[in-house]
Amino acid sequence: MQYWHKELETLPREKLEQLQLERLKKILKRVYQKVPHYRKKLQDAGINPSNIKSLDEIRNIPFTTKEDLFVDYPYGLLTVPIEKVIRLHTSSGTTGKPKAIFFSKKDIENSAELIARCLVMTGATKNDILQNSMTYGLFTGAFVMHYGAEKVGIFVIPAGPGNTERQINLMRDFGTTMLHMTPSYTLYVASVIYDKGIDPKKELKLKRAYLGAEPYSEETRKKIENMLGIDIYNCYGLTEMNGPGVGFECIYKDGLHIWEDNFLMEVINPETGKPVNDGEIGELVLTTLNREAMPLIRYRTRDLTRIISEPCKCGRTHRRISRILGRSDDMFIVKGVNIFPQQIEQVLMGINGVAQNYQIVLDSYDEMIVRVEIDREIFDGKIEKLVRLKDEIIDKIRSATMVKPKVELLEPGTLPISEGKAKRVIDKRTI
Ligand code: ADP
Ligand code: ZN
């Protein structure tokens, strides 16, 4: 099968690590020679790239943080002349000024190659039709997936996000078999499909969906899988590391494989910067091993996860990470307790009667208000009657987070719909 590079994907660990070391040395030499900011960092730490003998020595190299991307902005981290750059992508700016990442021709080809591997890993073939409903533009999500799918020979419908009616018509008219969307938008699209009385299992040809760009729980995956009768694969990436396709699930859907010939991964304690014990949760740190225009060394993603070292049933030797818990900066504190939005999502999506949309409002340090839309099926115009449902939500959130929330049940369609990354937390305390 094309793009199932069996030998590379199942390379014995020892050989894979040898390949990583060779690539690491090469990339360190390049940044040392070409990027004054990195040269200074390496010199200050007393590191000479030629002397590196083992992968562990990477721990002596200082981290690259988001702030480093703004030193000598915008072109200061390039290792190639600007004539070799063929594309700019920026992050979506969820947390501040967007980060700018530059791609050479080789980088574009390589990012497509990695996505091609990912798609094939889930069973996609050139007979599939992909409706790519991420934003085309500065955001990496749509373009990188598009190029990767084309590489496999997949027929791509560049739908972009939004206009849900049109999305559903595209699926129906052209026989879409695969979707690429954010999980929050997919939940919404699935609910509209239902409201229109369309039976997705009979009237649509959907087989699988690649959902990513924001954290979501196993409960959300199951909810959408059941609604649409499809397989959902978690797809993780960030602009700084090419965009989607950094971590991707295989057919076993048990953690996301990281292509370790391209990325060197570490998980650290975000407070101390030291590696966590094997399998413990911490912040994912990635080094690009195969990037030409703008290599990044020990980049702190701020995403929280853990490494799964046990071999995967699919036979690939590239290790997996668990689904992303959230970003270290997504966490909020109420009554002195640390809470991730995903904990709330996990509870809500497991409760019958809760629809796809919710919002967390924080206007004091002592209270968390959770606003929840309820399913059309149980809504008969009298929300105040749904006491049992409300109590169930309060109880389950309290036991998941240790904080008793104030819950507001809402009519379906009350909250704003997100077509891209959802904004679930309204923190009025920091505005
Ligand atoms: P921004 O940092 O502005 O959101 P990006 O658009 O590059 O920029 O988004 C990358 C971030 O999106 C990741 O660092 C991560 O926090 C989140 N993300 C992407 N895919 C997933 C996923 N499958 N699960 C959880 N979070 C994800
Ligand atoms: Zn696997």
Give pLDDT tens digits along the chain (431 positions): 566 788 999 999 999 999 999 999 999 999 999 999 999 999 999 999 999 999 999 999 999 999 999 999 999 999 999 999 999 999 866 656 789 999 999 999 999 999 999 999 999 999 999 999 999 999 999 999 999 999 999 999 999 999 999 999 999 999 999 999 999 999 999 999 999 999 999 999 999 999 999 999 999 999 999 999 999 999 999 999 999 999 999 999 999 999 999 999 999 999 999 999 989 999 999 999 999 999 999 999 999 999 999 999 999 999 999 999 988 888 899 998 999 999 999 999 999 999 989 999 999 999 999 999 999 888 776 777 789 999 999 999 999 999 999 999 999 889 998 888 888 999 998 75
The confidence score (pLDDT) of residue 356 equals 87
Distance (Å, rounded) from C-alpha 141 to C-alpha 337? 33
Nearest to residue 203, comparing CAs of 173, 180, 166, 236? 173
Q: Which atom of ligand 1 is nearest to the CA of 256?
A: 23
Ligand 1 pocket: which of 143, 144, 210, 238 to mutate (most atoms within 8 A of CB): 238
Residue 273 is encoded by which pair of tokens? 């910067």
The confidence score (pLDDT) of residue 190 equals 95
Helix ranges restricted to H, 229-378: 341-349
Nearest to residue 353, comparing CAs of 394, 392, 381, 384? 392
Nearest to residue 180, comparing CAs of 242, 86, 243, 98? 243
Distance (Å, rounded) from C-alpha 358 to C-alpha 414? 10
Q: Which atom of ligand 1 is nearest to the CA of 327?
A: 16
Ligand number, closest to the Cα atom of 250: 2
Residue 112 contacts residue 144 (beta carbons within 8 Å)? yes
Q: In what order do the strands lie in the sheet with 263-268?
A: 263-268, 282-288, 299-305, 326-327
Residue 88 is encoded by which pair of tokens? 């700019």
pLDDT tens digit string along 352-398? 999 989 999 999 999 999 999 999 888 776 777 789 999 999 999 99
Buried b (16+ CB within 10 A) or exposed e, 352-378: ebbbbbbbbbbeeeeebbbbbbbbeee
> Which CA distances in Å does 260 have to 18, 169, 174, 312?
11, 39, 36, 14
Residue 165 is encoded by which pair of tokens? 């009616």
Distance (Å, rounded) from C-alpha 23 to C-alpha 309? 22
Pick the CATH number of 332-430 from 3.30.200.20, 3.60.15.10, 3.30.300.30, 3.30.230.70: 3.30.300.30
The confidence score (pLDDT) of residue 115 equals 97
Which CATH topology does 1-329 take? Rossmann fold (3.40.50)
Distance (Å, rounded) from C-alpha 80 to C-alpha 45? 24
Chain-centroid distance, C-alpha 84: 28
Q: How far is the CA of 250 from the centre of ligand 2 (A)?
A: 5
Ligand number, closest to the Cα atom of 317: 2
Distance (Å, rounded) from C-alpha 300 to C-alpha 298? 6
φ/ψ of residue 40, rounded to 5: -65, -45
Nearest to residue 98, comparing CAs of 143, 138, 38? 138
Structural domain spans, the chain: 1-329, 332-430
The confidence score (pLDDT) of residue 1 equals 53
φ/ψ of residue 49, rounded to 5: -50, -30
Sign of CA dihedral 112, 261, 64, 33: negative
Distance (Å, rounded) from C-alpha 90 to C-alpha 294? 13
Helix ranges restricted to H, 153-258: 164-174, 183-195, 200-203, 218-228
Q: What amino acid is encoded at 414 in this protein?
A: T
Q: How far is the CA of 1 from the centre of ligand 2 (A)?
A: 17
The confidence score (pLDDT) of residue 278 equals 86
Q: How far is the CA of 254 from the centre of ligand 1 (A)?
A: 19
Distance (Å, rounded) from C-alpha 205 to C-alpha 211? 18
Q: Which residues line ligand 1 (CB under 6 A)?
A: 91-95, 139, 212-215, 234-239, 301, 303, 324, 327
Residue 210 contacts residue 60 (beta carbons within 8 Å)? no
Instruction: Using alpha carbons only, give the angle 389, 395, 401 rounded to the nearest 5 degrees.
Output: 130
Ligand number, closest to the Cα atom of 249: 2
